[in-house]
Copies of this chain bind each other. A is one copy, B any other.
Amino acid sequence: MPVTIYDVAKRAGVSMATVSRVINGSPNVRPATRKKVLKVIEELGYRPNAVARGLASRRTTTIGVILPDISSVFFAELARGIEDIANMYDYDILISSSDANREKELSLIGSMLERQVEGILFLGGHLDDAHRRLFKTANVPVVLVATEDPEREFASVRIDLRRAAYDAVSFLLDRGHERVAFLTDPLHAPMARARYAGYVEALAERGRRVEEHLVVETHPYYERALKAMATLLALPEEKRPTAIFAASDELAIAAVHAVQDAGLSVPDDVEVVGFDNTRIAQMVRPMLTSVVQPMYDLGAVAMRLLTKFIRQEPVESRDVVLPHRIEFRASTRPRVGAP
């Protein structure tokens, strides 16, 4: 029923190969012929079938993106970075949320491979042997994004989470805080563990040990975190933290509010540092000091790297670590000598 390349060829009085050439912008077509074919394409409303093309050419111009949850601000922003670069290179994007569920991840990877994606971007999960095996039999390049792979077996684009946490905690410790709390989503997640490692390291380097009660593990939602922090702040003053490092901005905001609810002031009584520097960091009062994770760039750089692998271009590094920094705002006290 739909118009095919064959219909166009017949009507234009040329072979389908010529039509194919016109469609694909081959220079080897006489201008007059091209014009004629183009006219017929217009008349017939011909629209090339990308599936057939994909089968014949073995190029689908599609890449697969697997992420924990597209509705999370963090991954949505990352996805946008991926999309923009993909677009620039004429790739379309197949997106699926995995809920960081291993089985779902594996099944999604399989499904994308069946669809003959030309590359896979895998975000924010944890790799085990099954993942590795699948990726290795894939025959298409894979880039991990914002994903912890201790083995560094696959190409990846990320920030140094451990170091970022280390920097944030060091900043707080160096201001003289005796008790810096760490508010985090469950520590079984690899990204949470990386931050925890940085927290521990910053303490250790100063001859301090982790005080169990200052590490607050909670579900990564505002309401839950608020309650968890309320409990911590109800402690007597000599056990209560005077600074809080939170693993996300959402957790940090919960911390800020818990402090205020306890009748204390941010930043005068308690300083708070968040993570990710999402839009919301600037939309609360006091505005949040936050570790900047360049989400859009992570996505963009990863996608660019993937195109290089697909085109077999040389790449400088398979493990790209993007810089992080701390954006200082009002949830911490002004730094001496800061602009």
Contacts and interface: CB of A to CB of B under 8 A. Distances in A.
Interface of A: 1-2, 45, 47-52, 54-55, 60, 62, 69-73, 76-77, 79-80, 83, 87, 92-97, 110-111, 113-116, 137, 139, 222-223, 250, 253-254, 257, 260, 279-280, 282-285, 296
Given A49-B116, A76-B71, A116-B51, A257 B282 contact: no
Contact of A52 (B55, B83, B93, B257): B55
A97 B80 contact: yes
Q: Which of A45, A69, A83, A92 has the most CB of B within 10 A?
A: A92
Nearest to A45: B137
B114 A50 contact: yes
B111 A92 contact: yes
A295 to B, nearest CB: 9
| Oligomer copy total | 2
Which 4 A-B residue pairs are closest in the complex by CB-CB distance? A71-B80, A76-B76, A50-B114, A50-B115
Contact of A283 (B87, B96, B253): B253
A286 to B, nearest CB: 11
18 contacts: A49-B114, A50-B116, A51-B51, A71-B296, A73-B73, A76-B76, A79-B95, A80-B97, A83-B96, A92-B115, A93-B94, A93-B95, A93-B96, A250-B279, A253-B283, A254-B283, A260-B285, A284-B284
Contacts of A70: 70, 76, 79-80, 83
A33 to B, nearest CB: 23
A94 B92 contact: yes
